Chains A and B, each alone.
Chain A
Amino acid sequence: EIVLTQSPATVSLSPGERATLSCRASQSVSSKLAWYQQKPGQAPRLLIYDASNRATGIPARFSGSGSGTDFTLTISSLEPDDFAVYYCQQRTNWLWTFGQGTKVEFK
């Protein structure tokens, strides 16, 4: 099973600042990686798929990069609505795994 490790566990930032979230895979997943946002009491929402493609309706301030084992989600300028938990997810060999999440909180 491929293990996804996200860092940091929590990041404290202010609106307007840039957020950089990391996801590292225990072995290569090529570009088969997605990012999700989850707010309290809500289901996760797909933000990025195939490492760098924004899902429908996702603002341009969200971007993804990376391939192989190292991936990054960048939020260029945090809006108040962006404070949430972010998860990465991969699928290989008919097994799906998620990272443990990074919480983006108000500084």
Chain B
Amino acid sequence: EVQLVESGGVVVQPGGSLRLSCAASGFSFRDYTMYWVRQTPEKRLEWVSLISWGGSSTYYADSVKGRFTISRDNDKNSLFLQMNSLRADDTAVYYCATDSTRQFWPPSGYFHHWGLGTLVTVSS
């Protein structure tokens, strides 16, 4: 069974930094493109970032470009999101998700398996 477990979400002040983690199990993590997607308090879904299965290609939403960095450790079946210069509008539940295709590039662009999410609150 595919499992994705996010962690690292806390309350942080504006301008602060945070590192989110996603622990993967039940599938061949190193073979899948991975994503971060967030859901705002208003329930709006927003794609945040993507990383290719080998880690060589990354993409970011304009709203986080230059502030967030996605990375992965395939030996530890883990995905990360380093979040710097946090703003109030970064407040959201952050989900990690798999692409729906294995070892395929470009990826399908569809979010197949999702974790339960971790809540990031940016507030003073």
Contact = CB atoms under 8 A, between A and B. Distances in A.
A34 B108 CA distance: 10
A46 interface: yes
The dominant DSSP class at the A interface is: strand
Interface size class, chain B? 20 to 34
B45 interface: yes
Contact of A46 (B61, B62, B100, B115): B100
B117 A43 contact: yes
Nearest to B116: A43
A32 interface: yes
A36 to B, nearest CB: 8
Given A32-B109, A55-B100, A101 B95 contact: no
A94 B111 contact: no
Interface string B83-124: 000000000000100001000000011111011110000000
A92 to B, nearest CB: 8
Given A94-B59, A95-B61, A46 B45 contact: no
A46 B43 contact: no
B109 A100 contact: no
Interface residues of A, number: 22
Nearest to B111: A46
Interface in A52-97: 55, 85, 87, 89, 91, 94-97
A46 B112 contact: yes
Interface of B: 43-47, 50, 59, 61-62, 95, 100, 108-112, 114-117
